[in-house]
Amino acid sequence: MLPYEIRVQLRDIEPPIWRILRIRPQTSLARFHKILQKAMGWTNSHLHLFEIDGKAYGEGDFDCDFDVRDYTGVTLEDVFVDGRTSFLYEYDLGDSWRHDITLLGTIEGASGEKVACVAGARACPPEDCGGVVGYYHLLEALANPENEDHEMLLEWVGNRYDPEAFDLERVNRALKRL
């Protein structure tokens, strides 16, 4: 089966933060979650869900106030059927990083790799920065040394954070280690 080419983009962030992945259709949602973590630059330290046609999918032992279906046996080829070309991935249910997952198509003659990132833009927001609103505040504070939060947030991000940084080779090295 030909590999899928999938676009992953964080919602509500401008300019956009995105990745293009090539991935096997037989990939489970559980594995896809791990791939998304590496491709986007997250640390896999928060809860996550997939939302497909209004239904939530996640780990089998997920404990919450709404119905979450076990995603272990669900594959991408199970999801991309009957004309469905997109779904949602949410990481960190507190900060609510919502990613649009869009099937761009299948790739003829693509390499035999299980997964690869072929393009992308911009660095992932730092973990626990407060969602979209907190991220924009962080960017404003880091860009302005006169901002009252500048020094504290600069130290919090380890004295450097470049929102424009994206290293395709680094992402692919991380994906190969999966």
Domain ranges for the chain: 4-123+164-176, 124-161
Share of the chain above pLDDT 90, in %: 87
Dist. CA 128–CA 70, nearest whole Å: 26
- State the DSSP H helix or E strand holding residue 151, giving kind and residue range, or none if neither: helix 150-156
Helices within 19-149 (DSSP H only) = 29-40, 76-79, 131-143
For 4-123+164-176, the fitting CATH number among 3.40.50.10800, 3.10.290.30, 2.40.50.140, 3.40.50.11030 is 3.10.290.30
Residues 132/13, Cβ–Cβ less than 8 Å: yes
pTM reported for the whole predicted model = 0.94
Q: Which two tokens stand for residue 80?
A: 């991309």
- The predicted-structure confidence for 83-105, as pLDDT tens digits, reads as follows 999 999 999 999 999 999 999 99
Residues 120-137 have pLDDT tens digits of 999 999 999 999 999 999
Residue of 38, 57, 39 lying closest to 47 (CA atoms): 57
The rounded mean pLDDT for the chain is 93
Q: What is the pLDDT of residue 169?
A: 97
**Cα-atom radius of gyration of the chain, to the nearest Å?**
17
Q: Quick: pLDDT tens for 128-176.
A: 999 999 999 999 999 999 999 999 999 999 999 999 999 999 999 999 9
